[in-house]
Amino acid sequence: LVNPALITSVKGHEISFGGTIFMPDVKATMGAAQEKTSAADMNVIPEVSIANRVNDNFYWGIGIWGTAGMGTDYRDATTSATDSGNMHMVSNLQIMQFGLPLAYKMDSFSIAVTPILEYGALDINYNDFGANTVGAGIAQDLSMGYNLGLSYEVAGLTVGAVYKSEIEMNYKGQLSAATQPFVDMGIFPGAMSDKLSTPSEMGVGASYAMDKHTIAIDYKQIKWSDAKGYKEFGWDDQNVIAVGYEYATTGWAVRLGYNYASQPITEAQSGPAVIPFGSYAQAGGNALNLFNLLGFPATTESHYSLGGTYNFSDVMSVDAAFTYAPETTTTMKTIVGFNSGNGDLYTGDTIVKHSQTGVSVQINYAF
């Protein structure tokens, strides 16, 4: 999944299956309202993969991976005359990829391509400031893309490079329906397109192994600013740095890791605190910030990981890992209320706190 050229390390056949229990903790406060906790606090991300060595030069595999997802759930948040309950925002994006890596090895050099079939499902619904339900149900799409990988190994040093194409996804009736109420109020010039692409990525990395020790460092850039949908939401590209260390014996291994990338969400220009009737266009940035923070709060930055492998035999092993992302606090100016009597919109600070934990387990068979 990370670099298809690295399946040339397989000595014969390998089968792996497992998954991750992903547990985000997201809290949001709109203006003077009480803090609300998102109920979308657990997801299961599965994976199954097979890699085969055909001969000294040709390797192939197949994999099914949950590769992305985010969302919030404030449907049960309490409300009052001055508290919208975070608009009862519910958002859910799930992405699965099916890949067929094909790799060719010549001496120490490997090159690979993985055709990708991507399945995505997106659901956005909320209550607008008039307490009207907005949403079109879950939308799904299938689309194609590809990953390219290179690797070179010499004297314990392995270097690699990867490129992943943008995969254009279209979730009919999602973003267009979600933004239409703000168009009707004069905030947006037009409803957004329903395209929300998986962004392209490019990266390089290196590892060095000596005796029982291996150190690794990776760099990649995620091109959010070019991806349809995310570009319209004002997301910035991410430069991701990851470092890792492994201590391995013949029977077990332990690993430590850390990665960092600044959050891609940037604050759009804010309007005044009260938007009088007829001047709604000034609040466009506040509405955009509202969608980003309440619906897609991709605000974590650092991730720490601890994991390891235990070999039950020459054939069977188990991997386990724990990942933790410390809480970040993000504050942006958003729309926080609406006066139905005179049509005024109120803007103020929305604060999002976001942390994550994840537990992964994988069983491997090599033969």
Task: Name 111's bridge partners.
Answer: 104, 150
User: Average of pLDDT values for 16-20?
Assistant: 96
- pLDDT on residue 243: 98
Confidence of residue 279 (pLDDT cuts 50, 70, 90): low
Q: Which residue has the higher pLDDT, 75 or 342?
A: 75
User: Average of pLDDT values for 183-212?
Assistant: 93
* Residue 112 near residue 104 (C-beta atoms within 8 A): yes
pLDDT at 344 over 70: yes
User: Average of pLDDT values for 8-12?
Assistant: 94
- pLDDT on residue 153: 96
Label residues 34-68 b or e (16+ Cβ within 10 Å = b): eebbbebeebebebebbbebeeeeebbbebbbbbe
Nearest to 325 by CA among 70, 107, 81, 58: 70
- pLDDT on residue 11: 93
User: Average of pLDDT values for 225-243?
Assistant: 96
- Give CA–CA dist 117/219, Å, rounded: 25
- pLDDT on residue 283: 80
pLDDT at 278 over 90: no
- pLDDT on residue 85: 93
Q: What is the pTM of this model?
A: 0.93
- Torsion angle in degrees (nearest 10) through CA of 227, 228, 229, 233: 60
* Residue 78 near residue 126 (C-beta atoms within 8 A): no
pLDDT at 282 over 80: no
pLDDT one-digit tens code per residue, 124-181: 999 988 888 999 789 999 999 999 999 999 999 999 999 999 999 999 999 999 999 9
- pLDDT on residue 141: 98
**Averaged pLDDT of the chain:** 94
By percentage, how much of the chain surpasses pLDDT 90? 84
User: Average of pLDDT values for 192-218?
Assistant: 97
- pLDDT on residue 186: 82
pLDDT at 68 over 90: no
- pLDDT on residue 277: 63
Confidence of residue 270 (pLDDT cuts 50, 70, 90): confident
